[in-house]
Amino acid sequence: MDIEQAKKEIRSAYEQRAAMYYHIFVELREEVGQDRAVAIMRAAIYRRGVETGEKYHAAAARGDFEEIGRIFCAGSAAGGELFEPSVAEVGEKGAVLKMTACPLLDSWRKLGVAPEELDLMCAIAAAVDEGTYEGAGLAFSFRERLGQPGATACLLDIRKR
């Protein structure tokens, strides 16, 4: 298989993930209401983030935010083509990691998810990032998410606890 075919398949896998998140959310919302549906999904996705965040533990323990940024960019799917990661800021106390594209958001738009629900879906999916960095012992927040009206990037603010 060539690299371009592999990239298409990776994009397709992210599109499938986004569609499953949305359909599971809709079913949960009908059964338990929106607030509970969001909480359940975020808890499960956060847990997965904690599992995948192991690769950041050593750098986080050292407070090495340059290394955290390197790991973030190097580990991005399809050589970074899907999320377009970069390090927007880095210093001794933290870093701001940036993504200017998102195949999940693209998929939700293709599915016809209402514009007012896009950031809600982003907030659900972003629980993986929260779990990843908080599980590594860091403080984490979003400055901006691509699903927010007018946003141009996801900006992940990572700091020492």
What is the identity of the amino acid at 48? R
Domain ranges of the chain: 3-160
pLDDT digits (tens, 9 = 90+) for 70-114: 999 999 988 888 999 999 999 999 999 999 999 999 999 999 999
Q: Find the distance separating the first CA and the last CA of the chain, reported in whole Å.
A: 44
| Residue 37 or residue 5, greater confidence | 37
Pick the CATH number of 3-160 from 2.60.120.10, 3.40.50.300, 3.30.1380.20, 3.30.1700.10: 3.30.1380.20
Bridge partners of residue 138, in order along the sequence: 160
CA angle 82, 86, 87 (to 5 degrees): 155
Q: What is the DSSP letter of 29?
A: H
At 125 the pLDDT is: 97
At 3 the pLDDT is: 81
At 14 the pLDDT is: 94
